[in-house]
Structure 1
């Protein structure tokens, strides 16, 4: 049996849902605002952390500055004890035997020191390991050549036996306007060092 073929009626196309044109920008804006709010909140936390860190660093620097021993104190670094006994400032030249002078580029500062070996074995002392510090925070190395002019040549380097001490002079060539405030002593080039005030 043949049935008449009739085309099925086509269904009307479904209507596509159209979003209002302002919805997508609004969503983006809200997300952006939320992101900005999160960034701002994190920024505030970062700023607080930075401020706390800066304050801690400042307190640390202040405490380090207070580690300078008072003038005249006997201080220790490694196997040596150091004590400043006298400071001479403003010397234009130095001389050991009054025949040959060594002139400063600026002026000389002479720091008289007693060095004691506090260990149980012999230890070499080197004047070159010591540093002068002025009120501007500038650091000056010992002028070993000038040092040889104020005492026997080679007296700036020596081996000290346990329990013994000797007197020496450190000579620093500094600008005429420098105001020495401290000296940093080391028992070797690799030691931590200790500072003592000169005033």
Structure 2
């Protein structure tokens, strides 16, 4: 299947699942972001930005901020899940517990980095916003590295993947605002 066909199918699926509630601005902004930055997953962009309550009334500038806020929520969810994993008795082994503790710190920092990206974009400091989104992505990589060095599979890999994707979306949309 061609990538363009896959993108159209992904959008059609999103529109079907949401009852067509995804705003045209989300679709056009994500299309422009994917067109300007090959790292942007168009289907992910439409799906995730389309879920946010501020998206229907947001312009491109607003969607860049929504992307940053979505990163904050993802980081907070990761911290919550890490705390729950650390409370379980099964994480008492010597390598998983310290890795989880370190990733909790990293995800705390990531939440702040995405919040700062939002604030910078809101203040029209687009370079600063993109730098903070990049910092958030680097923190996700650091968490992945912690688990790799510990020799255990990451139980929070889905959060890292999401963080990396939303950081790219945030930066790409911010580039459209400039």
TM range (shorter): under 0.3
Flag the structure with higher helix content: 2
TM-score, normalised relative to structure 2: 0.21
Whose Rg is larger? 1
Structure with the larger strand share: 1
